[in-house]
């Protein structure tokens, strides 16, 4: 089920909302949110709800273990076993075929052609996200950053909360714990208007900008060998806007939905194309993931505590794993590595970089991000190389269909992304002027959705 579908907007959401607020106990609300989370998830493929239930139960039991035992060995067991189980599930469903393919290729490189079977595995939507939820819960419990909950349904609500279940943000238990604890006496009206406002802003980002871009980008990149330099730039700039507004739109809608149920979900995007350097970019892009990577990978690797070169190594390792988290393909790994290099280079040369004018730094960082998206979007390295060649070596070929439409849209999207306010910068007071704007925007989005079948969010695949 997609947030930008009529079934969600006019059936799932109203029923979930009305029943939720008609219940008055925390227990009832936990139960209801868990149930609706499973319905939301199972709408895509009911079988995989079992997987999520299993992962939830294992992590919850680990939390109980932390409460019960103070002996370090037992605590470590409670840390290692559930994380291993979670990672094994993720590894099997997401990376098994990638591993097989890579092993076959490596064997081939050494002159041994081995035929290994391709496993017929369906990747459960959002497995990377809820696995991160459960792992962060276990690690934070182990580190005593949080006190594990004894209430199974509170934890199940946290894992299966439909607003952030399949594409994040990766909300950590500590970030939502306070609201979850207080769910029994949450005030329906307190965040209602703010929630609606966030939701509509997210819907505009997704439906009006990201999907319009997709309508041009996807066909253009499908024929990338025929693109001219201008066409390649237009397609990649379009993709740069598409992926941002798609994911940011989803996150903003998730935040809005959270507010509707009295839960404050943290900001996931803070206008990343306003970033002035790679470090700044990762403080603004997919904030929930980058903070997770910092806390659960970079710092445990040693962070910047062990000298300059080890810091670079830790940065690279973190970003390579971050790249792999995005998808089971070497192009994602190289994309992660590319950003690792950018981060390391910035760390080494920041004293030369920082005095440059703001516009220069912002423009250069934006350009660096666009180049990164070439790796991210390409399904193969030859595709990435061909696109790069077209972008940087003047090449004749196709420009784009409907340029007259694409260019103004690109300019508008770029202006919003690079200079405009994000949802968290906006005011969400329920003034009449704002009501008028939101009503018109919501109507426009619903009309567009009604004219096409809702397109899935890009980050679902991760």
Partner 1 sequence: MTASPTPVGGPAAAPAAAGAARVDFASRVARAAGYGALLLLFAAAFEFTCRLEDWLRYRMPWWTPITSQDDLVVFDKDGGHGRPGARYQKWVMNNLGMRGPDAEVAKSPGTLRVVTVGASETFGLYESPNREFPRQLEDTLNARLARGACAGCGVTRFEVLNAAAAGMSLPTVAQDIATRVRALHPDVIVVYPSPAQYLELEPPRPARPDSTGRRSRLSPARAFRPRALDRLRNQLKLLLPEVITTALRRREIAAAVRGQPPGWQYTAIPADRLDRYESDLRMAAGVIRSVGAEPILATHANAFAGGRENPTLLSAWQRFYPRATGPTILAFDSAARIVTERVARDSSTRLVDLMGTLAAAPDSAFKDFVHFSDVGSSAVAADLGDAVLALARARQP
> Residues in the site for partner 1, rule: CB under 8 A?
6-7, 10-11, 405, 432, 435-436, 439-444, 446-451, 453
- What whole-number distance in Å separates Cα of residue 57 and Cα of residue 144? 20
User: Is 452 or 461 the residue whose CB approaches partner 1 more closely?
Assistant: 452
Is residue 89 within 8 Å of 129, Cβ to Cβ?
no
For residue 5, the minimal CB distance to partner 1 (Å) is 8
Q: Give the closest residue to 37 by CA, choosing from 158, 143, 181, 119.
A: 158
C-alpha separations of 330 from 99, 151, 251, 342 in Å: 11, 41, 26, 18
User: Is 166 or 208 the residue whose CB approaches partner 1 more closely?
Assistant: 208
User: Is 300 or 408 the residue whose CB approaches partner 1 more closely?
Assistant: 408
User: Is 226 or 450 the residue whose CB approaches partner 1 more closely?
Assistant: 450
For residue 439, the minimal CB distance to partner 1 (Å) is 5
- What whole-number distance in Å separates Cα of residue 236 and Cα of residue 388? 10
- What whole-number distance in Å separates Cα of residue 129 and Cα of residue 110? 36
Burial class (CB in 10 A: 0-12, 13-18, 19+), 106: exposed
428 in active site: no
User: Is 61 or 448 the residue whose CB approaches partner 1 more closely?
Assistant: 448
3-state class (DSSP) for residue 398: strand
For residue 362, the minimal CB distance to partner 1 (Å) is 31
Is residue 242 within 8 Å of 270, Cβ to Cβ?
no
| Sign, Cα dihedral of 454, 457, 460, 462 | positive
Is residue 333 within 8 Å of 320, Cβ to Cβ?
yes
Catalytic residue from among 108, 118, 185, 326: 326
User: Is 6 or 349 the residue whose CB approaches partner 1 more closely?
Assistant: 6
- φ, ψ dihedrals at 398, nearest 5°: -75, 145
The Cβ of residue 101 has, within 10 Å, a number of other Cβ atoms equal to 15
User: Is 200 or 423 the residue whose CB approaches partner 1 more closely?
Assistant: 200
For residue 446, the minimal CB distance to partner 1 (Å) is 6
- What whole-number distance in Å separates Cα of residue 242 and Cα of residue 234? 12
For residue 196, the minimal CB distance to partner 1 (Å) is 13
Burial class (CB in 10 A: 0-12, 13-18, 19+), 71: exposed
For residue 435, the minimal CB distance to partner 1 (Å) is 6
User: Is 106 or 436 the residue whose CB approaches partner 1 more closely?
Assistant: 436
For residue 195, the minimal CB distance to partner 1 (Å) is 18
Give the containing element (helix H, strand E) for 132.
helix 127-142
Look up residue 379 and give its DSSP letter: S
For residue 450, the minimal CB distance to partner 1 (Å) is 4
* Complete DSSP assignment for 282-314: HHHSSHHHHHHHIIIIIHHHTTTSS-HHHHHHH
Q: Give the closest residue to 267 by CA, choosing from 198, 206, 336, 211.
A: 198
Query: Could you give the residue numbers annotated as active site?
Result: 326
């Amino acid at each position: 089920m997609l947030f930008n579908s009529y079934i969600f907007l006019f059936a799932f959401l109203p029923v979930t909302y009305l029943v939720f607020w008609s219940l008055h106990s925390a227990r009832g609300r936990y139960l209801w949110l868990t149930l609706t989370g499973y319905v939301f998830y199972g709408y895509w493929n009911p079988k995989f709800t079992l997987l999520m239930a299993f992962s939830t139960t294992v992590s919850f039991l680990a939390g109980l273990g932390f409460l019960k035992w103070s002996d370090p060995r037992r605590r470590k067991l409670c840390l290692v076993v559930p994380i291993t189980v979670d990672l094994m599930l993720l590894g099997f469903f997401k990376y098994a075929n990638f591993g097989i393919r890579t092993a076959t290729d490596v064997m081939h490189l050494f002159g041994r052609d081995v035929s290994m079977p391709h496993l017929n595995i369906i990747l459960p939507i959002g497995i990377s996200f809820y696995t991160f939820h459960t792992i962060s819960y276990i690690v934070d419990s182990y580190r005593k950053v949080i006190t594990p909950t004894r209430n199974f349904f509170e934890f199940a609500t946290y894992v299966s909360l439909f607003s952030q279940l399949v594409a994040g943000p990766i909300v950590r238990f500590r970030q939502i714990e306070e609201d979850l604890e207080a769910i029994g006496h949450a005030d329906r009206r307190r965040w209602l208007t703010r929630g609606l406002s966030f939701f509509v802003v997210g819907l505009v980002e997704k439906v009006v900008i990201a999907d319009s871009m997709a309508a041009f980008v996807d066909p253009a990149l499908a024929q990338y060998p025929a693109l001219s330099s201008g066409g390649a730039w237009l397609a990649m700039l379009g993709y740069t806007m598409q992926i941002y507004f798609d994911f940011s739109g989803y996150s903003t809608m998730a935040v809005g939905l959270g507010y509707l149920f009295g839960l404050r979900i943290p900001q996931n995007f803070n206008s990343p194309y306003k970033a002035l350097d790679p470090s700044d970019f990762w403080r603004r892009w997919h904030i929930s993931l980058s903070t997770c990577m910092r806390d659960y990978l970079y710092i445990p690797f040693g962070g910047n505590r062990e000298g300059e070169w080890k810091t670079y190594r830790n940065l690279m390792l973190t970003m390579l794993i971050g790249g792999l988290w995005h998808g089971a393909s070497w192009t994602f790994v190289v994309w992660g590595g590319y950003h690792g290099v950018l981060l390391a280079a910035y760390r080494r040369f920041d004293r030369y970089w920082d005095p440059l004018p703001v516009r220069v730094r912002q423009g250069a960082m934006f350009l660096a991000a666009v180049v990164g998206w070439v790796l991210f979007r390409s399904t193969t390295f030859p595709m990435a190389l061909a696109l790069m060649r077209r972008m940087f070596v003047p090449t004749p070929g196709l420009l784009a269909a409907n340029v007259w439409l694409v260019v103004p849209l690109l300019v508008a999207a770029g202006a919003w992304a690079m200079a405009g306010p994000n949802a968290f910068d906006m005011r969400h007071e329920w003034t009449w002027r704002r009501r008028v704007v939101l009503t018109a925007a919501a109507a426009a989005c619903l009309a567009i959705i009604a004219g096409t079948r809702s397109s899935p969010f890009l980050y679902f695949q991760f």
